[in-house]
Chain A
Amino acid sequence: MKFKISSFIKAILGTAAIITITIPNIAIAAENSTNEQITFVRLTSEQHRNSIRDIFGESIIVDGDAGSVGVREEGLMAVGGRRLTLSASEVESYEVLALDIASQVLDPARRATLLTCLPEDASKVDDTCASEFIDRVGLHLFRRPLSNDEIDAYAAMAKTAAQNLGSFYSGLQAALVGMMVSPDFLFRIERSVPNPELPGTRRLDAWSRASRLSFFLWNTTPNPTLLEAARSGDLMFEAGLNRQIETMMLSPRIEDGLRAFFSDMLAFDRFKTLDIDSNLFPKFTKNVEDEAREQTLRTISHHLLNKEADYRELLNSRETFLTPALAALYSVPIPIHQELGGRVPWVPYEYSEDHMRIGLLGQATFLSLFSHPGASSPTLRGKAVREHLLCQTIPPPPGDVDFSLVRNADHPDFKTVRDRLAQHRDNPTCAGCHMLMDPIGLALEIFDASGVYRTTENGVEIDTGGEWVGQEYTDIRELAVLLKNDPTLTSCLVQRAYNYGTAREPTRAEVQWLNTMHLQLREEGVRWRELIKRISSNPDFYTVPEIVSTED
């Protein structure tokens, strides 16, 4: 894939200087002449934003998202990120962002903190100072040292722009924009080296290890300490690697990594297209939607990081956090503490033992994300549990299925969706999959599409009973316990966490040790810190599987 950068650089450097960057058009990997395997994983919008923040400071405003939503593979956007390239319009969007960021970075008020040298004359070229800036900033943007050729190329870009525009800083700005629209920044480029411990195999080089670790644990670019560990070679050795992991685990940034993982695993990308009909569900305002998302992340973060509790208990935990609007949606009382500055006051809340609204499945996030705009959907909810929590795959419905009965909420004979789905399952083509999905979702029918509690549908009492792997349940509370005890729940988490960190499916050998680790964790307690520590400290996490070209 080729794309040209950039209209801005073209304008200031002249037509002859247009740079064409080539990204190897590979879905998984490419091999160069030295047999080095290189893989590309596109940064998510959040990772792009976090990187800019961490490199240039929190005062830099990243005004917008440039990249498309992406694709989900193996249940994760992170794995799909390996399939992503950049369209011409996305490059243009990144360029607009880069221009804005570069102008902020080199603003007279900020430049002194980022430049370690000053030009003798700000209206003229200063190659030495420009090269120093490019070398230093490039290390953080590309997450590896720049080669001399790269430094020279960007310095030449800065020089031409400075000459054309009569400003040293405008020259730097051009070079900075060039670096920020480079694939080396927008993609996590993982390079491999021969693995001396297992001759014939390859493993990530130290710089790529730093990136993989940092984006996995912190969802951001490696910090100077990690880059230094890469430079020194510490990351290539068990002791040095574990030292860095231990340090990173102690950082509050670990929560960023957790939030990013669960946002991916629980399909929060659906929020971008969520369209619960506020005419039918007026309590579900945009604010409530945003707060519901935050409620789920706060609940998970508190449970897994603050309490260091077992992941399984998230299914039937009664502890959560609420805002006034969420409490109104759920119709529960919360103490009101006004906060200065108009901040949303989050309040810890615990439901009673007999309350129906428990666990992640009782939160508005899950209930709304897997509903239709105008009605709840037992099928979508059941499918989501199977696919996102249990790593199972439900095939799509055949193209000629008639859904009119299921969607006819005013049907005179089938007043509840349970009745309508039962009729729908009379079609043998549909029955197989619906038997897998519907019973789970029907247990959640006491919550409408917005998450508001209800006891009846069209005047008929809602029946939430069902069966899970031969065991009957009467309501969401009993179902949550059955799901919690199902080993598929935890094996799915382990698998997803590993796939998320590596942005690929595990190899057969990796599956074996993941299974072993899963069994150990089930005995010891499935705790998030322990899980990501074991994954990130395992040599397999940095092994580069042999790639079989799909183009042959």
Chain B
Amino acid sequence: MVRCTSWRAGITTWLRIPGPLSLKLLIISLFPAPILAEETRGYVISMVHTATYYDEQTCPNGTNGSRPDVLIRRIMNDGYDQEEAVRIVSNLRFNGGRDDQGNLVGSAIVLGVGASFDGNQSWNGFDFNPANVPRVLQDPNAQNAQGRYAIGLNLDGKVGPNSWEHPITGETGIDNEMWRVLGCWDVYYVNKPINPYNEGIAWDTAVDAMPAWLISISGENLNQDGEVTVTFDRALNIPLRDAYGSIMTGASFAIDPNPRSHNVFKGRISDRILTIEPGTFYMQGESQFYPHLQFTETQLRLELNEDGSLEGHIGGYQPWRDYYHYLSVRGETDGMIDLIGIYYDMKKYADAEPDLVTGENTAISAAYFIEGVPAFHLDDEGTLLANSVGPGPKFSGPAVSQYSNIGQ
């Protein structure tokens, strides 16, 4: 039997499940950090997406537009004038992408279905999808994000020529070259509470089928500043939804005993802000968009909200091909971007982990918004490992966050 004290004063819950270890002993045995954990709070991650922020300096020459703009530019690069390119794109649904002479303009159209599509695809007469071999197309030289501000974390501890300034905290030295690549595409040119549509819809779909991603925080007193241990785990079960489509708070999750997605960081709470000491991070997913999420030099900045939820950003150096895969597997139509442009820009702005042979950087600094709501964590034997504390927010996750301010 495991005893755990609920967040409500004076109420203690007993879980009558055989378990040889007390909560404290279990925490000590699991976490090597020399922190005497008196309390462990659990969360289920309710939302993940690329961290976005824009202002008038971000894309001073305008954005790259969306899917039709990509197609028109690509057709014009093939030698058509703008008027005919617009006509070809306008008639795309009716003639499959043919010019005024009836010739198929395949190179412009085919990327929409994405790299995972294995049907009849051709590009300039060849049966293959250029999303899988993007270098066969020319760099479209897309607009990149500029200006002073970007969301992210100072991954290298330095302030360099490519560093950003955090628009909210004012912290300098922010490393986020991923934002430079993505920031001028319309789908990413959004501010909270709007999410990047392509990632929001991908997460919204995945969350009902993918084992949940969990965070727990252990420390002597989580209501005060101090050292803590932060653990990321994958669950064996998927999140529940409430009537809003938000992720249900107070739900129970069994932690996957497979250590592959078990990440432990030393952390600190200061003025309700949670940070960690850098380390590597790997979470396995079961999603088209997030088959996994991995960083080196991982950092974290999460705000612990009064309602028991947490939100903020996680970042690190991410293999840029991971993100290119996320986009290409869903195709240009879904991502509303130019895959070829993303490919070239990722290569161009990658800023870490050079390949030993070519010397090209294989990772790019990146930052993701994450949000977690209170949840119970148990092991696969039913022993309670982390408590759900607080009622959580009224809205969470992708389904409602875009509308959560309406009427308030």
Q: What 0/1 readout, one digit per residue, does chain A (279-297) give for beta carbons within 8 Å of chain B? A: 1011111000000000000
CB of B16 within 8 A of CB of A350, answer yes
Which residues on the B side are within 8 Å of A353 (C-beta)?
14
Least CB distance, B190 to chain A, in whole angstroms: 25
Which residues of A, 302-355, contact B by the 8 Å Cβ criterion?
A: 324-325, 327-338, 349-355
A80 CA / B378 CA spacing, docked (Å): 48
Q: What 0/1 readout, one digit per residue, does chain A (40-61) give for beta carbons within 8 Å of chain B? A: 0000000000000000000000
Which residues on the A side are within 8 Å of B248 (C-beta)?
283, 325, 328
Least CB distance, A156 to chain B, in whole angstroms: 56
CB of B246 within 8 A of CB of A333, answer no
Please judge, given known A-B contacts A325-B248, A331-B6, whether A285 and B14 are in contact too, CB under 8 Å. no
Please judge, given known A-B contacts A285-B243, A324-B252, whether A333 and B236 are in contact too, CB under 8 Å. no
CB of B250 within 8 A of CB of A331, answer yes
Asked whether any CB of chain A lies closer than 8 Å to the CB of B403, the reply is no
CB of B378 within 8 A of CB of A335, answer yes
Which residues on the B side are within 8 Å of A351 (C-beta)?
13-14
A338, A352, A354, A356 pick with most chain B CB within 10 angstroms: A352
Contacting A282 at CB < 8 Å: which of B8, B242, B378? B242
Asked whether any CB of chain B lies closer than 8 Å to the CB of A201, the reply is no
CB of B236 within 8 A of CB of A331, answer no
Question: Which residue of B has the minimal Cβ distance to A328?
Answer: B251
Which residues on the B side are within 8 Å of A474 (C-beta)?
none
Contacting B254 at CB < 8 Å: which of A325, A336, A354? A336
Least CB distance, A20 to chain B, in whole angstroms: 50
CB of B388 within 8 A of CB of A333, answer yes
A188 CA / B105 CA spacing, docked (Å): 76
Asked whether any CB of chain B lies closer than 8 Å to the CB of A278, the reply is yes
Asked whether any CB of chain A lies closer than 8 Å to the CB of B249, the reply is yes
Contacting B237 at CB < 8 Å: which of A329, A338, A349? A338
Question: Which residue of A has the minimal Cβ distance to B211?
Answer: A338
Chain A interface, >50% SS class:
loop
Please judge, given known A-B contacts A324-B252, A328-B252, A336-B253, whether A283 and B14 are in contact too, CB under 8 Å. no
Which residues on the B side are within 8 Å of A278 (C-beta)?
242-244
Contacting A333 at CB < 8 Å: which of B10, B15, B241? B15
CB of A453 within 8 A of CB of B252, answer no
Question: Which residue of A has the minimal Cβ distance to B251?
Answer: A328
Which residues of B, 1-53, contact A by the 8 Å Cβ criterion?
A: 3-4, 6, 8-17
Which residues of B, 228-284, contact A by the 8 Å Cβ criterion?
A: 235-237, 240-244, 246, 248-254
CB of B11 within 8 A of CB of A333, answer no
Asked whether any CB of chain B lies closer than 8 Å to the CB of A455, the reply is yes
Asked whether any CB of chain A lies closer than 8 Å to the CB of B100, the reply is no
Least CB distance, A181 to chain B, in whole angstroms: 40
CB of B243 within 8 A of CB of A284, answer yes
Which residues on the B side are within 8 Å of A329 (C-beta)?
250
A75 CA / B243 CA spacing, docked (Å): 33
Which residues on the A side are within 8 Å of B387 (C-beta)?
333
Contacting A328 at CB < 8 Å: which of B17, B250, B382? B250
Contacting A338 at CB < 8 Å: which of B8, B236, B240? B236
Which residues on the B side are within 8 Å of A325 (C-beta)?
240, 248, 251
A510 CA / B388 CA spacing, docked (Å): 54
Please judge, given known A-B contacts A282-B394, A350-B14, A354-B11, whether A334 and B243 are in contact too, CB under 8 Å. no
* Chain A residue total in the interface (Cβ 8 A): 31
Please judge, given known A-B contacts A338-B237, A350-B16, A354-B12, whether A333 and B252 are in contact too, CB under 8 Å. yes
Question: Which residue of A has the minimal Cβ distance to B242?
Answer: A282
CB of A328 within 8 A of CB of B14, answer no
A507 CA / B9 CA spacing, docked (Å): 53
CB of A285 within 8 A of CB of B242, answer yes
CB of A328 within 8 A of CB of B378, answer no
Which residues on the B side are within 8 Å of A324 (C-beta)?
237, 240, 251-252
Which residues on the A side are within 8 Å of B11 (C-beta)?
354-356
CB of B8 within 8 A of CB of A455, answer yes
Please judge, given known A-B contacts A282-B243, A283-B243, whether A333 and B8 are in contact too, CB under 8 Å. no
Question: Which residue of B has the minimal Cβ distance to A283?
Answer: B242
Least CB distance, A347 to chain B, in whole angstroms: 9
Which residues on the A side are within 8 Å of B384 (C-beta)?
333
Asked whether any CB of chain A lies closer than 8 Å to the CB of B376, the reply is yes
Asked whether any CB of chain A lies closer than 8 Å to the CB of B381, the reply is yes
Question: Which residue of A has the minimal Cβ distance to B42?
Answer: A333
A328 CA / B13 CA spacing, docked (Å): 14
Which residues on the A side are within 8 Å of B240 (C-beta)?
324-325, 328
Question: Which residue of A has the minimal Cβ distance to B376?
Answer: A333
A336 CA / B377 CA spacing, docked (Å): 10
Closest 3 CB pairs of A and B: A335-B382, A278-B243, A333-B376
Listed A/B pairs (7) with beta-carbon separation below 8 Å: A327-B251, A328-B249, A331-B249, A331-B388, A336-B252, A336-B253, A455-B8
Q: A328-B248, A334-B15, A336-B378 are in contact. List 10 more A-B contacts (CB 8 A).
A: A282-B246, A284-B243, A325-B251, A327-B252, A332-B376, A334-B382, A336-B252, A349-B16, A352-B3, A353-B14
